[in-house]
Amino acid sequence: MTDILLIRHGETDWNVDKRLQGHIDIPLNAEGQRQAAALGRALDSEALDAIYASDLQRARDTAQAVASRQGKSVQLDPALRERCYGGFEGLLHHDIQQRYPADFAAWKAREPDARYPAGERAAETMREFSARVVGAVTRLAAGGHRKIAIVTHGGVLECIYRWTRQTGFAPARDFDIFNAGINRLHWDGERLQIIRWADIAHLSPRVLDEIDR
């Protein structure tokens, strides 16, 4: 039995610009650093047995803000990376639509087996990506700890939510995925159960203002 804090990384400039990051290693911006600091403070009272993160720096640095306050190390796992979008990566959404109109339409239609054009890396289909991240999160959940934190990416959180709720890929997303938000789940040995989703009380303007003082 394991309690899991599933956390998206703090904000990046590319999040603000709506530029697709995928496997490109983009750092936190100033707001993302403040969010990470507030997250670390919010989790001070949590008895975490282990802290895991994607090896991309936006997730790694968010996790480090938690680990440093708890005297723990961050255990990096590349299987927690965001989906690889191939040639879409680095582009704004409207640029993707202009450059790859048919592939953009498949993306927006949420076609699970669509593979977008390759860029520096080959793209993953949604089905491949979901299998990767569900496998990674359940593997960590079954690791024998009582409570763990996993800091990862928005696409990973979406896959885990859908797998837990058994909604499939087709429905439009009707749930929030916040930068540095805390999502609480429980692993019973076979399935994940969502206990609380999208907690951002620790990111209120008052709290973030205190980080800068």
Crossing angle for the helix pair 154-165 and 126-141, to the nearest 10 degrees: 80
Instruction: Say if residue 138 is exposed, middle or buried (CB neighbours under 10 Å; 0-12, 13-18, 19+).
Output: middle
- C-alpha closest to that of 179 among 11, 4, 6: 11
Q: Kindly name the residue from 82, 89, 124, 158 that is annotated as catalytic.
A: 82
151, 7 contact by CB (below 8 A): yes
CA distance 123 to 89: 9
Residues 6+ apart with CB under 8 A from 9: 28, 32, 36, 54, 56, 58, 59, 61, 62, 151, 152, 153, 179, 180
Q: Given its phi and psi angles, is residue 147 left (phi above 0), alpha (psi -120 to 50 degrees) or beta?
A: beta
175, 198 contact by CB (below 8 A): yes
151, 53 contact by CB (below 8 A): yes
CA distance 68 to 1: 26
Q: Is 111 a catalytic residue?
A: no
Q: Is 82 a catalytic residue?
A: yes
Task: Supply the residues annotated as catalytic.
Answer: 9, 82
